[in-house]
Copies of this chain bind each other. A is one copy, B any other.
C-alpha cells in the first residue's frame, strides 16, 4: 500500500502538502494540486482510514444499535438498517452494528474504544436503558422512537398522535359508527413502546371527541394466531369500522374478511410502506416511510457531530395517507 510519503516523493512535495490536498482544508496552488493528484492516481493511493482516525480523532463510523426481539414480526427492520446505512454513506459515514445482548455495555465499550463517532438507536422505548451510557459519556446519539426523557440525545419518531387523529377523523367521514381498534399484544403496551400507547391514547380521545364508541383489542403478532382472533372478532359483526395498528393483523386481515359475509367493515390501518408493499394491503392506510425516518435520524446525527452544542431536537415525521386502490 502506498503511503502519503510515497505520494509526496512522487509529486516532489512535502507530506503536509499532500495532506492539504487530501483534506481540502488549505489552499494549494492548482499546479501543485495537479501534481499531487497525478501522483495519487499513479500510485493508486487511498488514505488510510486507520491513520486518519487516529490523527483526527474521528472514525467516520456511526454505531447502529439494534436489538432483534425473538418473537417480533417486523418486516421493516431490514429496511431501516439499509436506509440508515445508505443515508450515512451519503454523508461519508459507515455503519457499525451494535447487537450485543447487553446493549448498554456494548454501547459503553464502543464509546470507550473509540470505534464510532456517534450512535443511532432503533426502537427506543419510553425508559430505555441504552440511554444511560450515552448520557454518561455525553456522546452524540439519536433515538428512533420517543423516550420520555430526551435530555442529551436527539430523537426522531413518527407522529403517531397526528396519525391517530387523521385515522379516526377518516373513519368518521366514512360513516363509521362503532370502531374496533386492533392493536398490539398487551406486552407491547406494557413495555413502554410509546408508538403503541401514543397512537392508542390519541385514537381513544379522538373517537370520544367525535362521540364514536371505540373498543380496544390486543391481538397477537403470530400470523396464525392473529387469524383466529380476527375470525372470532369479526364474526360477531359488532363493528362497522376497523382501525388497525398491528402489522401481523393487517397482513392477515384480507384473508380473515374473505370468510365473512359482506358488507365488510370499513378498514384503515397504520403501518409501514414496507409492510404495504410486501403484503399488498388493500385498505385505506396511513403509512410510515422507514426511509424518511432513517434519513432524518442520520441528518440529525451528522448535524450534532458538526455542532455538539446545538439544542437537542425532537423531530416528528408525519405519516402519509394512502387510499386503497379500488378493487
Please give the residue numbers on chain A whose beta carbons come within 8 Å of chain B beta carbons, in ascending order: 1, 46-51, 53-54, 57, 59, 61, 64, 66, 68, 71, 73-75, 77-79, 81-82, 85-86, 89, 94-100, 109-110, 112-115, 222-225, 227, 251, 254-255, 277-280, 282
Whether A280 touches B222, Cβ cut-off 8 Å, given contacts A81-B78, A89-B99, is yes
Cross-chain contact B50 with A68 (CB below 8 angstroms): no
The answer for the CA separation of A64 and B85 in the assembled complex, in Å, is 12
Whether A97 touches B81, Cβ cut-off 8 Å, given contacts A224-B280, A278-B223, is yes
Cross-chain contact A115 with B100 (CB below 8 angstroms): no
Find chain B residues with CB under 8 A from A48 CB: 54, 113-114
Find chain B residues with CB under 8 A from A278 CB: 73, 222-223
- Nearest B residue to A64 via CB reads B97
Find chain B residues with CB under 8 A from A89 CB: 99-100
Find chain B residues with CB under 8 A from A95 CB: 96-97, 99
Cross-chain contact B47 with A113 (CB below 8 angstroms): yes
Find chain B residues with CB under 8 A from A282 CB: 224
Q: Tell me how far the C-beta of A116 lies from the nearest C-beta in chain B, rounded to whole angstroms.
A: 9
Name the residue in A78, A89, A222 with the highest tally of chain B Cβ atoms < 10 Å from its Cβ: A78
Cross-chain contact B114 with A49 (CB below 8 angstroms): yes
Cross-chain contact B73 with A224 (CB below 8 angstroms): no
Q: Tell me how far the C-beta of A76 lies from the nearest C-beta in chain B, rounded to whole angstroms.
A: 10
Contact of A97 among B46, B59, B94 (CB under 8 A): B94
Contact of A114 among B50, B61, B96 (CB under 8 A): B50
